[in-house]
Structure 1
Amino acid sequence: MQSGIPFPDISPEIVSISLFGMEFALRWYAMAYIVGIIIGWRITVAALKRPALWRDQTPAMTPEQLENLLTWIVIGIIGGGRLGYVLFYQPGYYLQNPAEIPMIWTGGMSFHGGFLGVVLAILIFARRHGIPLGSAADSIALASPPAILLGRIANFINAELWGRPTDLPWGVIFPGEAAQACATAGQLCARHPSQLYEAFLEGVVLLILLVWLAFRRGALRTPWLMSGVFFTGYGLGRFAVEFVRQPDAQFVSPGNPLGLALHINGWGLTMGQLLTLPMIIIGLAVIVAARRARA
């Protein structure tokens, strides 16, 4: 067998119980987002309780309003994430099987769709409650990295969204389809643990950067600056990891082994990169506009 790190034997389910002939399970993926949202909420509450961090020493909202906004955010993540996956990745399949669209427990969520759902939730909430949109967006940007970090770790535990085959010493031999998809001559291949790459770049690095900017550099006094940094930071991290991340099966073909959604003569971009590139451009534009408005 090819050298690599064996995949840890961790069940995707934390605990499961049977009631009335039905199986109910608490999964790491759900727990990751619950815990991540709670951590992000507490970080942002800490910022809201320090008026000096905000423009004119006026926090964007009260802690109670933040709690209500988080409810909207959760709805936006679930609804937008599912619809994004349906529209961006498998529109043909779900057009033929529309009854499966709401079956989120079967898997299939898109970060970019969830992101658009969050944007819509913030727009509606801010308008209804008279909250400055830029400061509301900055509050959620500060709260987001913990959920992304733990969500990517849950992806690893679930052995999903794995990377391309690699012979690097930290390559992981994932079980099931991941192993069989690149097996040759009875040998299983190791793959990039791309979920952990993303956890580090989109979670750890981005969290440290945003917390430093908010609590040490006074970035919350410049509306939209934190949001621009989040867009750019997430976009760059995701764009980079896409080079070693296994693309969705529907994009892979004998003439397109890299699974590029846009390609010319073997060069191009994956669907993840196509969806992330606008985030980087918008993020940089938002940073420049925010700094000019503050000057």
Structure 2
Amino acid sequence: MRILISGGSGLLGSAVSQHLTAQGHRVTSLVRRRARSSAEVQWDPAGRELDPHRMDSMDAVVNLSGAGPADRPWTRSYVETLYESRIGSTVTLVRAMEQADNPPPVFLSQSGTGYYGNVDSAAVDETGSSATDSLLADICRRWEDAALAAPDEVRTVVMRTGVVVTRHGGAIGKLLLPLKAGVGGPLGSGRQYWPWISLPDDVAAMEFLLHNDIHGPVNLCAPEPVQVDDLVVALAQALGKPARLRVPEFVLAAALGRLADEMLLTSTRAVPGVLVEHGFRFIHPTASAVAQWVAGTD
């Protein structure tokens, strides 16, 4: 397949690009600077500029653009960046598809399980409704609406991705640093559910979605939802470290503000209903399995 990808230089985008290339697909990355090779295409998502003819030769578009929600405190300026970096990029891609003579048959666009907001311990699949009292949910709704405006002939999937567990980098990488030093522990009460997925499973799920007749929302998260306590303990045990130093909610709230409330302390027990229904097989379906992979003991 000929695949156009936005956000290809990020942690997830790099992993997806490398995997798809290794599988024999031809991956072209969208870049904001001048293109340096035939494997790159310049665009300006802030200015809504992308040559629609670039779409004509593509079999699929994978949209992973977006500033990292855990990269900086949620000041008013950074919240605007969170919105624009997602919605502006998606609108630019969709407009190019609308103007193309032959739009790509498949469009995978990133979203997040933040769409559901705080649902405590209730399991939610793709039929669950979006939270009305959450900034992150509002971002996800608008992001998805922009993607679902793609032409009718384009099979569009919005990927509601959970916390991506990696060996290095990303949000989990920040949690692993104190754990590896033996000074880490659960965040807040530890009873909140985090929807998570390993990086290899996330990449494999995207390839699965490229090849299977699935459309609409898809939860990209492991089939075993776990509370933060259980995930942190599993990671610590696999690393051979203690996990006794709990970080209280008030400390997180004071240090991180709304970011802590919306991402770290919110409980979202999302389950991958669509992936399971269509027979996707997870490499790391449990907290124990992903912890062993992170520690390099699997």
TM range (shorter): 0.3 to 0.5
TM-score (norm 2): 0.35
* Structure ID, larger Rg: 1
TM-score (norm 1): 0.35
Q: Which has the higher helix share?
A: 1
Q: Which has the higher strand share?
A: 2
